[in-house]
Amino acid sequence: MNQQPPPVPSTPTPAAPPAPPPPRRSPWGWIFGILFAGTGAVVLLFIIFIIVSVGAAMRESGGMASNARNVHEQIVREGGRDKIAHIDLEGVISASANRGGRSMVEEFSRRLNAAVEDERVRGIVVRINSPGGEVTASDRLHHMLRRADARKPVVAYMDTIAASGGYYAACGSRHLMAHPTTLTGSIGVIMQSIKYGEMLDKLGLDFEIYKSGEMKDLLSGTRETRPDEIELVNELVGETYDRFLSIVAENRGKSLTELRGSPFTDGRIFSGRQGLDGGFIDSNGFIDDAYAKAAELAGVTDPTVVRYRTRQGLFDLFDPLAQAGAGKVEIDVSERLLPHLRSGVPLYLYPDAL
């Protein structure tokens, strides 16, 4: 009988040596990473600064692209090759610079010039929604529209409100159209000053004014206006009003005598329907009717209607940085974003619309 060999005693497995402690991480990796990120940020800011500086230099030297390249077209209605350009004139009329460093008058000029320069644009509709504003700015807009209308028919479409300076500007166009419910008119001039002398007296405050002439502090708020000052201001207002009447007379084919005797020129507002009845508006209608009228005046059928908007380019986006480079950054977060209409300045404005 075969005998089994005796079992071999098992040898115990030796215990594994303890794992060595993990190597200590050097802090230099984090330091180099932070330095690298900081260097990249500095380089990026430097590149942006170069772009802004070059853009500012190009603007100052007139090296920017043409008006057409600075304007964006939005198709309102598809049609044929010929186009009718829709341009908005909206808000208080002012030559004060806006957030992009340009005034609303300059922005409007860019869009209008682009429409005039585009050979496919055969007619222009300017939609006006404005209570008016500064006298000189309104006159500039009127001049622009007259000059554009000499090359292509311009139809002014008065929307919710086109009063005072808004109506003044519209008189540079070939045809004035308004919705029947539009508020327009307010043909006149307003100039005002705030008197706060009594309030200063109650606070125990006083002003010391040193002036070179009797009229140097004209319309000062610290005192009552003298009769000779009132006479001077009325002369200035009357002269500005006469210019307004001459603009209306030329556009409406009316005499100055007729206008002076009309209740429509005493500064009141009137509706689009009333304006049509009084001969201060050519027709009533909707914006589509304005497009059709522009096409009729241009002698085209089935045009494509495009709305012109100012294109915000790369340099416009960095305008706040350019201001920062000049040591000045202005951010306007007010709800109404109205321009600064100063006291004591003559205005073609319907103030109750503000």
Pairing of strands 175-178, 154-163: parallel
Token pair recorded at residue 259: 């206008």
Closest CA to 307 of 182, 121, 53: 121
Token pair recorded at residue 220: 């000062």
Please, how many CA atoms are within 13 Å of residue 215, restricted to the half-sphere of its CB?
7
How far apart are the C-alpha atoms of 126 and 86, rounded to whole Å? 6
DSSP string, 32-76: HHHHHHHHHHHHHHHHHHHHHHHHHHHHHHT-SPPGGGGEEEEEE
Q: Where do we find the tokens 């209608």?
A: 285
How far apart are the C-alpha atoms of 307 and 86, rounded to whole Å? 4
Is 293 a residue of the active site? Answer: no
Catalytic hit among 103, 138, 164, 173: 164
How far apart are the C-alpha atoms of 61 and 59, rounded to whole Å? 6
Token pair recorded at residue 303: 């045009």
Catalytic hit among 195, 211, 216, 343: 216
Alpha helices in the chain (DSSP H): 28-61, 104-117, 135-149, 165-170, 197-203, 227-252, 256-260, 272-277, 287-298, 314-317, 319-325
How far apart are the C-alpha atoms of 346 and 135, rounded to whole Å? 6
Closest CA to 259 of 241, 239, 234: 241
Is 216 a residue of the active site? Answer: yes
Check: CB of residue 126 under 8 Å from CB of residue 166.
Answer: no
Active site positions, annotated = 164, 216
